[in-house]
Chain A
Amino acid sequence: MADTLAPEDRRRLFTLLSPAYLWLTLAVFLPLSAMLFFSFLTDLPQDAPDWGFTLDNYLKFGDSAVYSTLLWKSLKLGFTVTFFCILIGYPCALVLARTIKGRARETLFLLVILPFWSNSLVRIFSWAIVLRGNGVLERALEAVLPWDIRLNLMFTTHAVVIGLVHSYLPYVILTSYLALQAIDDDIIDAARSMGASTLAILRRLLLPLSLPGLLAGAVLVFVPVVGSFMEPRILGGRHGTYYGTVIEDQFVAVYNWPLGAALSFVLLAVVLLILGLSSPVLRKART
């Protein structure tokens, strides 16, 4: 422990650690504390000299059902997108990690995660081109199917879900793949030699052993989706009002920073609560 560290080591430890943590303090921890403070203010100190403390910003959340309805809508969006990402991505990771071998696997893995390194905004925008009325998707379907197609997907909740799944799918594939790839082949061979069916191997071995990776992926999808505002705005149109877009409005359009700060902290509390409630599962999965 600290006593065992020589003064020289302690100095080196401090030199190595302090830049990173000072930076995080300046850019993350102090801002979060400042925002908590701001969420209890009546006005911005830089605008109004007569600012004071109040609970109003938080009471507004309870006063009208608007905010809680939108928060629920955003949580539902988070769960839906996470569900589809797992449903689509996990089998994909499974195939990549367990049935494809060698050079082909490396190339396919790269192909799957490459879109991940292209601008997320750009990908959302490209969905707008695909989904819009009389757009590429409708034209393509019309060319294949004999009857008239009116999908009208653009500016619906479906469009928002499709765009978000596309954006966050690589997270689930990446984390599940890494977990599945680390499983020792001998365990699978042993189970198979004892007569276990493919489904039994999947259910009793692969799924439990890769659960930490899968859950890590789920968290990486759920957290940003609950706070998303850009995707709903571009793909959702008038159906694109979510909790995140309301917060954005408070900061960018309405300029009511204290209310925006309070709404942000409600969201943060709910996200932390959900992560906290699921942490026993996460911890159990790790052992």
Chain B
Amino acid sequence: MRRFLPTLGRVWLALILVFLYAPILVMAAMSFNASPFYQLPFEFSTRWYADMAGNPQIIEASLRSILIAFATMALATVMGTAASVALFRYEFPGKRILQVLLFPPIAIPWLITGTAMLVFFFAIGIGRGTPAVLIGHVALALPYVIVTVTARLSSFDVTLEEAARSMGADSWTVLRRVTLPWIAPGIVAGALFAFAVSFDQFVVSYFLAEPGDSTLPVLIYTAIRKGFTPEINAISTIIITLSMGIMFLATRKSSFGGSR
């Protein structure tokens, strides 16, 4: 039994990996198939990549998505890191409530958050468009940054700060030279989360993006509902390769979740 179970477990793990990667690999393969109807036999062609490169809508939406993701990352990381340092450092009444208030963006279905933003932004005159999308993305990413940075802070030894202070460092220097370097891996992980949350976010963008100025996921959704187009396979394959590559490097560097 004791020797049998691990083997069974490894087989199970292998099956899960097949399940997780099969559709992605099939899609990548189909993006190189000449037939527009995913017909076999497979005939190699890069025509869908050429079509995609010549489609200004796809290029614009991709650039917009990347831009919004970077802006979200910058805003959410700065505000989120500041908030987690404050929540970690100080004891004050109402702290528990503030911590609980971080969960609605995660614990409420995006459908509800997205439609609520739509209703509210119209009521106050912001309406739809890129600014609305950015406001929404930053709000969704903030809790992820705060949770990640706080997790790193909890392993921080406060006596290090006291030591620095006793040697004459002012609080700004302590923050810059002691605290921030220590929590840097947490900040990097939080920033990556923020980027991923924004770049992958479909639901909130869908309700907040203007039809002519959509993000990539929204464009893909519209294209799929109009009928399958192999160009979508091409751009999707590029996105998947890029995002997996970046994440692979990032996790390697920060050894996030790896072995102890």
Task: Give chain B residues whose Cβ lies under 8 Å from the Cβ of A101.
Answer: 259
A117 interface hit (Cβ, 8 Å): yes
Task: Give chain B residues whose Cβ lies under 8 Å from the Cβ of A169.
Answer: 16, 20
Task: Give chain B residues whose Cβ lies under 8 Å from the Cβ of A102.
Answer: 259
With contacts A34-B119, A96-B13, A99-B10 taken as known, whether A28 is within 8 angstroms of B104 at the C-beta atoms is yes
* Residues 27-75 of B contacting A (Cβ, < 8 Å): 27, 30, 38, 40, 75
A29 to chain B, nearest CB (A): 8
B167 interface hit (Cβ, 8 Å): no
User: Interface stretch among B80-88, B156-164, B181-189?
Assistant: B80-88
Q: Closest B-chain residue to A182, C-beta based?
A: B260
Q: Closest A-chain residue to B28, C-beta based?
A: A126
Cα of A197 to Cα of B4 in the assembled complex, Å: 13
Is the CB–CB distance between A119 and B228 below 8 Å? no
The contact of B202 among A5, A120, A275, by CB within 8 Å, is A120
Cα of A119 to Cα of B138 in the assembled complex, Å: 18
Q: Which of B19, B109, B118 has the most CB of A within 10 A?
A: B109
Q: How many residues of A contact B (CB 8 A)?
A: 100
Is the CB–CB distance between A122 and B109 below 8 Å? no
Task: Give chain A residues whose Cβ lies under 8 Å from the Cβ of B87.
Answer: 17
The contact of A234 among B23, B122, B224, by CB within 8 Å, is B224
Question: What's the dominant secondary structure at chain A's contact region?
Answer: helix
Is the CB–CB distance between B111 and A264 below 8 Å? yes
A6 to chain B, nearest CB (A): 11
Task: Give chain A residues whose Cβ lies under 8 Å from the Cβ of B10.
Answer: 95, 99-100
A189 to chain B, nearest CB (A): 13
Cα of A226 to Cα of B250 in the assembled complex, Å: 32
Q: Closest B-chain residue to A45, C-beta based?
A: B123
With contacts A16-B82, A117-B196 taken as known, whether A35 is within 8 angstroms of B98 at the C-beta atoms is no
Is the CB–CB distance between A2 and B259 below 8 Å? no
Q: Closest A-chain residue to B258, C-beta based?
A: A106
Is the CB–CB distance between A13 and B90 below 8 Å? yes
- What are 28 inter-chain pairs, A to B, with CB distance below 8 A? A1-B91, A17-B82, A17-B83, A17-B86, A19-B82, A19-B83, A24-B139, A27-B117, A27-B139, A31-B116, A31-B117, A32-B108, A46-B123, A110-B248, A110-B252, A115-B21, A118-B244, A119-B200, A121-B221, A122-B240, A136-B38, A166-B23, A177-B257, A198-B2, A219-B107, A227-B109, A230-B202, A271-B108
> Could you list 14 further interchain pairs (A-B, Cβ under 8 angstroms) beyond the known A5-B90, A31-B117?
A5-B92, A24-B105, A26-B135, A28-B104, A45-B123, A46-B123, A92-B13, A103-B259, A108-B17, A112-B17, A120-B202, A129-B233, A136-B26, A261-B119
Which residues of B come within 8 Å of A, CB atoms?
Answer: 1-2, 5-6, 9-10, 12-13, 16-17, 19-24, 26-27, 30, 38, 40, 75, 78-80, 82-83, 85-87, 90-93, 98, 101-102, 104-113, 115-123, 135-136, 138-139, 142, 146, 171, 196, 199-200, 202-203, 206-207, 216-217, 220-221, 224-225, 228, 232-233, 236, 239-240, 243-244, 247-248, 251-252, 255, 257-260
